[in-house]
Amino acid sequence: MSQGRTAYDAKLESILRAAAVVFAEKGYHQASIRDIARATGVSLAGLYYYFQSKEELLFLIQHHAMSRLIAGLEPRLRYARDPREKLRILIDNHLRFFVDNMAEMKVLSHEAKSLTGEFRSHVESQKRQLTNIARQILREVEPNSTLDERVSAFALFGMMNWLYVWYRPGRDADVDRLVHDMTEIFMGGFVRSRGRNPELQLAFGTA
């Protein structure tokens, strides 16, 4: 971790991690600060040293996760030149982060509307930032795409973010397989057999 990381940061991070699991399992509205105290081993008074309300805790989890996700992506993109390579990096970064932070990613999706006011608009702007990075990459990959850009970007995020509904770590495909298969599907499509595209059929002269 960075040199500036203090004991406060480290403690906060461990609280956010444990609280994300509680919110992911019980749901934000059903979970109490008492549940969080139990899961973190920090007293109620101790917890209020780090945040002032359950909603601020939810905000910190979401903000921290989005910040880390984007902070991991940007330096990797900086050294990529080929747009398709950037798209691969985006998918790779997102899925690896997702699998390592399943609880946080579930909370980001499932409890998006549980935040209100400034908290919500801040996290929404972080999400918009990521969506805009993706849209920019899609434009670079296919400057003349006939596909709707917003539909394409959210098709990609939907494909990836749906993980929180179905993915069982340790039982399903591992993260390398996930990255490979989802990159293949989004970039090149599920259908690979010859003959899927009449023009290609003609070009190859085979069916």
Residue 100 or residue 174: which is nearer to a second copy going by CB?
A: 174
Amino acid at position 188, single letter: G
- Residue 162 is encoded by which pair of tokens? 């749906």
Q: How far is the CB of 23 from a second copy (least distance, A)?
A: 13
Are residues 156 and 91 in contact, defined by beta-carbon separation less than 8 angstroms? yes
Return the residue of 52, 173, 176, 201 that touches a second copy, per CB under 8 A.
173
Tell me which residue of 123, 86, 109, 114 sits closest to 167, measured CA to CA: 109
Using CB under 8 A, pick the residue from 5, 158, 169, 176 that binds a second copy.
158
Q: How far is the CB of 135 from a second copy (least distance, A)?
A: 12
Q: What residues numbered 87-146 form the site for a second copy, per CB under 8 A?
A: 87, 109-110, 112-113, 138, 141-142, 145
Q: What values do phi and psi take at 90, rounded to 5?
A: -60, -45
How many chain residues bind a second copy (CB under 8 A)? 52
Cα–Cα dist 190/140, whole Å: 22
Name which of residues 27 to 86 contact a second copy (CB under 8 A): 27, 29-30, 84
Q: Which is nearer to a second copy, 100 or 148 (CB)?
A: 148
Of 42 and 153, which CB lies nearer to a second copy in the complex structure?
153
Contact stretch for a second copy (CB under 8 A) within 5-13, 32-40, 62-70, 193-201: 193-201
Alpha-carbon distance 198 to 207, whole Å?
A: 9
Region from 12-20, 46-54, 97-105, 195-203 binding a second copy, contact rule CB under 8 A: 195-203
Q: How far is the CB of 115 from a second copy (least distance, A)?
A: 13
Q: Which pair of structure tokens corresponds to residue 176? A: 């390398």
Residues of this chain that bind a second copy (CB under 8 A): 27, 29-30, 84, 87, 109-110, 112-113, 138, 141-142, 145, 147-148, 150-152, 154-163, 165-167, 172-173, 177-178, 181-182, 184-193, 196-197, 200, 203-204
